Structure 1
Amino acid sequence: MIASELVEGGRQWEFQINGAAKGYWSDGNDTRYFGGMDAACDPLVLVPHIGMDP
């Protein structure tokens, strides 16, 4: 897991990214979740999931 803080849009966020390339940003009032197989998530994934298909 990777965890830290960031500032975006003038707001202070904490974030976590787990080993499954899923994560979230939270400012204590708002939480944004990221991850999945959708192409829109590609910029957020450091190492893509290779799946389990042979």
Structure 2
Amino acid sequence: MTSFMTEDFLLDTEFARRLYHDYAKDQPISTTTATFRRSRLPKTIALKPV
């Protein structure tokens, strides 16, 4: 019986497997996360009920 999540999990085509294993596998994972300083965020103001 084979394992459900193998090294090629979600890599359906030969091209996808080759692209991942030959080029992308050793690349770092980068994320784009915005970091805000609390002093730069707008102040919360209380609105008067209408």
Q: What TM-score range do you get, normalising by the shorter chain?
A: under 0.3
Q: Give the TM-score normalised by structure 1.
A: 0.19
Task: Decide which structure has greater strand share.
Answer: 1
